[in-house]
Amino acid sequence: MFFLSPARYYAQDDDVDDMAFKAEIRSAVANEDVEMHFQPIFSCEDGRLVAAEGLMRWDHPERGSIGPEFFVPLAERIGLVGELGRLGFKQALSWFSKSWQEFPADFRLALNLSALQIEDAEFVSWLESVVPSYDLRFDQIELEITETALLAESEVMKTNISRLVELGVVIALDDFGTGQSSLSLLKRFPIGRIKLDRSFVGGLPDCTDDAAIATAVLGLAAAMNVPIVAEGVEDEAQQAFLAERGCDEMQGFLLGRPVSGADFKVRYGR
């Protein structure tokens, strides 16, 4: 069975096969069979490499490569996302510590932060001890948080974000524009970068709605002096549209797919 097409196949907690899948993911995390891959991010101004976004992949022995959009929600439901997140962070930081000097001086590592991680009172203390252990600086790290995760606005979350920013970590607002509170979040939180959601990029330049929204978001980011990254750039027409309207950075299959850490160094290192 091809895994990616029947996503709902694993969505029901009571399904027998879903129970088997839960056992498999527990084993995969325990055995560190989940591996971090990296997608390049490039400057629109001069085309140089500026960052790598870490994206987890599970190389399932029967179902092939499984993306995080399928197994991370399941890990959240069974209380495994904390352990999974720490494993991914350690893998990414380990790779970055051995690789960043192969890239431009301002090269950064972007990692996705789940809603449960940002609500974890121990997360920042854990990160504060882990990053220096890899001889890395906090200002080399960017953490991407979705609108949905920020909407809770709990005291723990607010404290964690404040502490991260104080350490020098950049907070990026991921999937920008997909929720109902995008603009207010920019006002309420110390957002250091905006990520324009791929849903507004896919129809460029022909879809008038996508073009209007993308142009408005790019103008807003420029007015607020907040750098913006366009996600999901898959053809040259999209790339040209975004660059002409002042997009700072972009990523997508046109520019580079997620690859293993070793392949990333071979393809993009000096």
**pLDDT over 50 at 19, yes or no:** yes
| Closest residue by Cα to residue 264 from 66, 85, 98, 31 | 98
Q: Is 1 a domain residue?
A: no
- For residue 160, give its domain range: 7-268
Angle (nearest 5°) at CA 28 between 22 and 32: 150
What average pLDDT is seen over the chain? 88
SS3 of 10-79: the string is HCCCCCHHHHHHHHHHHHHHHCCCEEEEEEEEEECCCCCEEEEEEEEEEEECCCEEECHHHHHHHHHHCC
Q: Is 2 a domain residue?
A: no
Q: How many domains does the chain have?
A: 1
Summarised one tens digit per residue, pLDDT across range 154-175 is 899 999 999 999 999 999 999 8
Q: Is 127 a domain residue?
A: yes
Query: Which region among 8-17, 108-117, 134-143, 199-208 has the lowest average model confidence (pLDDT)?
Result: 8-17
Summarised one tens digit per residue, pLDDT across range 27-63 is 888 888 889 999 999 999 999 999 999 999 888 777 7
CATH number at residue 106: 3.20.20.450
Helix (H, G, I), strand (E, B) or coil at 247: coil
